[in-house]
Structure 1
Amino acid sequence: MESGAGKHWTEEEVKALLSVWAEKNIRKQLYGTLRNKGIFIYIAKRLQALGVYRDWKQCRAKYKNLKYEYRTVKYAHNSGDSSKTMKFFHDLDAILQYEPATQLTEEDANGRCLATLSQSAAPGTTEGKKKK
């Protein structure tokens, strides 16, 4: 199968991506880091084993687009607009509903806010903080 930069993802390809993304260890790694090239290289290799030939950049772009669209629809639903919908919403809801909520609770020495997990360790420790 040819995989050009502008080639649309088929329904089967998206389902394969979601099946890999749904794995607990993948979800944990994706949530816990901002520098995630290595994770997407691994995801691309896993997809190849499933017959989906996409490079890591395509996987990351699709991941980001799906997540953005999901959050847009979820926000609309929470605001009372149930007319907004998307394909794979329920699959994404199952994957993303377990992400820990983040809240801004601390500032560093330069006055910048640091996002910490609501279930994080005591303030002042590095455990639980998102990397900048």
Structure 2
Amino acid sequence: MESGAGKHWTEEEVKALLSVWSEKNIRKQLHGTLRNKGIFIYIAKRLQELGVCRDWKQCRAKYKNLKYEYRTVKYAHNSGDVTKTMKFFHDLDAILRYEPVTQLAAEENGMCSVTEAHERPPEWTEAKAEKKSIGKYFSYPCII
């Protein structure tokens, strides 16, 4: 299979990417990591084992595009617009459901605090949640 920079991903290729992405160790490494080239090199190797010939840059671009489209549809659903949809939404929802979401909260002193709201899986204990949330609060000037 030829893999050019502009070649569209087939449904089978996306399914393979989602199956690798859904692995717990991959999700854990991708969460909160900005320098993730090594992770995507590994994902590209795993995809090659599954017969998908894509390089790490293509994998990262597809990951970002799928994540962006998922969040757009999820936001629309949360706003009451259930007509917006995408292919693989339910697969992505299963993968991304427990990822923290950054929220801005306005405070009285004119500062906005950025916090991460977590939808915790049922198996989490409060100790794990507390450990995970340490250092997650920042203050920025609030522009209103």
**Shorter-chain TM band:** 0.7 to 0.9
Structure 2 counterparts to residues 93-104 of structure 1, below 5 A: 93-103=93-103
Consecutive unaligned residues in structure 2, runs of 5 or more: 106-112, 119-128, 138-144
Matches of 1:48 and 1:93, distance apart in 2: 25
Structure (1 or 2) with the larger CA radius of gyration: 2
Structure 2 partner of 1:5: 5
In the TM superposition, residue 104 of structure 1 has moved relative to its aligned partner by: 6.3
CA RMSD of aligned residues (A): 2.6
Q: Are the counterparts in 1 of residues 100 and 117 from structure 2 also a CA contact under 8 Å?
A: yes
Q: Are the counterparts in 1 of residues 100 and 116 from structure 2 also a CA contact under 8 Å?
A: no
Matches of 1:14 and 1:78, distance apart in 2: 25
1:32 aligns with 2:32: yes
Give CA-to-partner distance per residue, 1:18-37, whole Å, 9 cap, x none.
00000011001000311000
Consecutive unaligned residues in structure 1, runs of 5 or more: 106-112
> What TM-score results when the alignment is normalised by the length of structure 2?
0.74
3-state SS of the aligned residue for 2:52?
Answer: coil
Structure 1, 96-105 or 20-29: larger mean CA deviation = 96-105
Structure 2 partner of 1:108: none
Structure 1 partner of 2:18: 18
Identity percentage of aligned residues: 80
Asked which structure has the greater RCO (Cα within 8 Å, sep 6+), the reply is: 1
> What TM-score results when the alignment is normalised by the length of structure 1?
0.80
Aligned residues between the structures: 122
State the 4+ residue runs in structure 1 displaced beyond 3 angstroms: 101-105, 113-123
